[in-house]
Amino acid sequence: MSSTIERTKVDSAKIITPNGLTYQQPVGLFINNEFVKAQSGKTLKVEDPSTEEVVVEVESASSEDVNYAVDCAEAAFNSSWSTRDPRERARYLFKLADLVEERKELIASIESMDNGKALALARGDVELVINYIRVAAGYADKIGGRTINTGENYVNYTLREPVGVCGQIIPWNFPLMMLSWKIAPALAAGNTVVLKPASPTPLNALYFASLCKEVGIPAGVVNIVPGPGRSVGDTITNHPKIRKVAFTGSTEIGRDIAVKAAQSNLKKVTLELGGKSAHMVFDDANLEKTLPNLVNGIFLNAGQICSSGSRIYVQEGIYDRLLTSFKKYIEENIKVGSPFDESNFQGAINNKSQFDTIMNYISIGQEEGAKVLTGGVRVGDKGFFVRPTVFYDVTEDMRIVKEEIFGPVVTISKFKDIEDGVAMANDSEFGLGAGIETENISTALKVSKKLKAGTVWVNTYNDFDASVPFGGCKQSGYGREMGEEVFEAYTTVKAVRIKLD
Ligand code: NAP
Ligand code: MG
């Protein structure tokens, strides 16, 4: 059995972040509250995408390591973790949120170094993480069932119970935030977890693991196993003892996970996948408010957000004015460069492969005959920086309008009226986010009802709150994160029906 193998502990590495903070970075797999060497004998090189330099190497798990982590998570689940007073579990989470808050500048700096995102944005991510852990903890003792009246001869009630060991696979665009959206509700509900961070961005996941240990979360409750998706991710997906898998990433991998999760042991699945979200601007929109919303829609996190407003639809009466003012606004305000230079709004693209994908789509757009309003080029020759890029006068069949680019590239199309605009916005296989810019309340409400999306933002965009559920429809996936809705995924309903004599 895997758990009988002797595990070698691994020392942390001393790192100085680009803004001069010194800390100890754990580099081992985090299993059963120890940082240990991988059985694979392999490591992952972690690169700073703004310099293309290797920051550190971390252990890269094998399938055997995943099996060991699952054994430990199962043992922790079967101990008192899943059955204890939920307020005790909440207390650990509140302590964890406090510790993240105490170290927030360091944690934001690790995020910027690992992911490439602007430090101001990373700070915002960490605030959301702190808030979300507290919101999830607050639900711990409120994940209740209900009583059902079927007449005087019976008592019926339901219990909401944790599902067991949860496998969680997350992407590189919001390494810590995605982790918090997965781990906090799972733990609040009494589950234990085995989480795989994305290979380019394992640093905050391992640092967070050290905080879990520091606040005293029992061994085996949280396990973090960096390693390749095709082996470590696949072992999680197929594992017979894992009862639920949560995935955020591409639609292609999400589809594969749904099939394998079903074939292995019919584990529960939640999928938060890609998008090609429409952001609609109506003739009566207030451009002063609209321009920053459009920017947040597509250039925040360098466009590497699943809900990015990557298709802008503009009503014909305001189209020309919007083109001129959007170009001016971007060129004057959106600086690109080092995440640690605080005048930069946009940092680096997370990895070379994503950078190449984005640059390739920019060429495709030009070949398809779309016109470039601004951008279209990389910035500098070191680090993965891309100038904010806007294509206009596009046609709806172009690949740059249909396919997710996942970068700072947006298309602008013109529409006539609500009906026409909504038809264009909904003409997508995705359904994650959508945006409406209008000063007319009827337009806002009417169009919100018609758009096929998991979230509709009105006069704001990419604006997340820990208490508001997030997720998609169509090929953007299923299941919800945050809010109270997330507990659907992390619990199972037991009905108790008692006959009275
Ligand atoms: P991805 O391949 O879907 O990766 C997401 C996560 O899944 C990573 O942890 C990855 O591990 C893991 N994974 C990969 N193959 C797997 C498999 N066969 N079984 C189980 N897990 C597996 O995404 P990507 O390659 O990083 O990016 C590709 C595209 O996905 C992007 O261009 C973008 O369109 C989309 N994307 C969407 C989101 C989102 O938030 N919805 C986030 C990131 C990317 P490794 O890192 O080890 O490969
Ligand atoms: Mg991939």
* Maximum distance among all Cα pairs of the chain, rounded to whole angstroms: 81
d(CA 493, CA 132): 24
> Which ligand is closest to the CA of 350, given by its number?
1
Q: Is the dihedral of CA 16, 21, 22, 25 positive or negative?
A: negative
252 Cα nearest atom in ligand 1: 3
Ligand that lies nearest to the alpha carbon of residue 253, given by its number in the listed order? 1
DSSP assignment, residue 348? -
Calculate how far, in angstroms, residue 289's C-alpha sits from the geometric centre of ligand 2.
Answer: 36
d(CA 3, CA 159): 33
Q: What is the C-alpha separation between 197 and 229, in angstroms, rounded? A: 9
Q: What is the radius of gyration, based on Cα positions, of the chain?
A: 23
**Extended beta strands in 298-401, E state:** 311-315, 371-374, 389-392
CA of 479 to the centre of ligand 1 (A): 18
User: Ligand 1: does its nearest atom lie under 6 Å from the Cβ of 401?
Assistant: no
| Closest residue by CA, ligand 1 atom 29 | 250
Residue-level pLDDT at 177 = 98
For ligand 1, say whether the CB of 448 is within 6 Å of any of its atoms: no
pLDDT of residue 3: 57
Query: Is the Cβ–Cβ distance between 339 and 119 less than 8 Å?
Result: yes
Contact by Cβ (8 Å): 284, 418: no
Contacts of 423 (CB under 8 A, 6+ apart): none
Closest atom of ligand 1 to CA, residue 273: 41
- Single out the catalytic residue among 47, 74, 272, 404: 272
Whole-angstrom distance, CA of residue 304 vs CA of residue 348: 10
Instruction: Compute the distance between CA of residue 326 and CA of residue 175 in angstroms, rounded to an integer.
Output: 30
What is residue 208's predicted lDDT score, i.e. its pLDDT? 98
Reported as type and span, the H/E element at residue 130 is helix 119-139
The two structure tokens encoding residue 233:
């991710």
The helix (run of H) or strand (run of E) holding residue 28 is none
Mutate-to-test residue for ligand 1 from 117, 169, 356, highest number of ligand atoms within 8 A of CB: 169
The residue whose CA has the least distance to atom 9 of ligand 1 is: 198
How many other CB atoms are found less than 10 A from the CB of residue 150?
9
| Ligand 2 mean position, distance from CA 255 (Å) | 13
State which ligand 1 atom lies nearest to the alpha carbon of 197: 9
Pocket test for ligand 1, best of 195, 203, 253, 298 (most atoms within 8 A of CB): 253
Please give the Cα distance from 301 to 308 (Å, whole number). 9
The pair of three-digit structure tokens given for residue 198, joined into one six-digit string: 């994305």
Nearest to 366 by CA among 330, 332, 390: 390
Bridging pattern class, strands 154-162 and 491-499: antiparallel
Nearest-CA neighbor of 148 among 140, 159, 139?
159
Q: Is 231 in the pocket of ligand 1 (CB under 6 A)?
A: no
User: Are 378 and 408 spatial neighbours (Cβ–Cβ below 8 Å)?
Assistant: no
Q: 62-121 pLDDT, tens per residue? A: 999 999 999 999 999 999 999 999 999 999 999 999 999 999 999 999 999 999 999 999
User: Which pTM was predicted?
Assistant: 0.97
Q: Which domains does the chain have, with CATH numbers?
A: 8-273+478-495 (3.40.605.10), 278-466 (3.40.309.10)
How many whole angstroms separate alpha carbon 454 and alpha carbon 270? Answer: 14
pLDDT (tens, 9 = 90+) of the chain, 501 residues, equals 455 788 999 999 999 999 999 999 999 999 999 999 999 999 999 999 999 999 999 999 999 999 999 999 999 999 999 999 999 999 999 999 999 999 999 999 999 999 999 999 999 999 999 999 999 999 999 999 999 999 999 999 999 999 999 999 999 999 999 999 999 999 999 999 999 999 999 999 999 999 999 999 999 999 999 999 999 999 999 999 999 999 999 999 999 999 999 999 999 999 999 999 999 999 999 999 999 999 999 999 999 999 999 999 999 999 999 999 999 999 999 999 999 999 999 999 999 999 999 999 999 999 999 999 999 999 999 999 999 999 999 999 999 999 999 999 999 999 999 999 999 999 999 999 999 999 999 999 999 999 999 999 999 999 999 999 999 999 999 999 999 999 999 999 999 999 999
Whether 437 is a known active-site residue: answer no
Q: Residues 205, 210, 215, 218: what is their CA dihedral angle, to the nearest 10 degrees? A: 90
Give per-residue pLDDT as tens, 150-203.
999 999 999 999 999 999 999 999 999 999 999 999 999 999 999 999 999 999
Look at residues 296, 197, 293, 251 and name the one whose alpha carbon lies nearest to residue 404.
251
Which ligand 1 atom minimizes the distance to the CA of 477? 41
Whole-number Å distance between alpha carbons of 49 and 27: 19
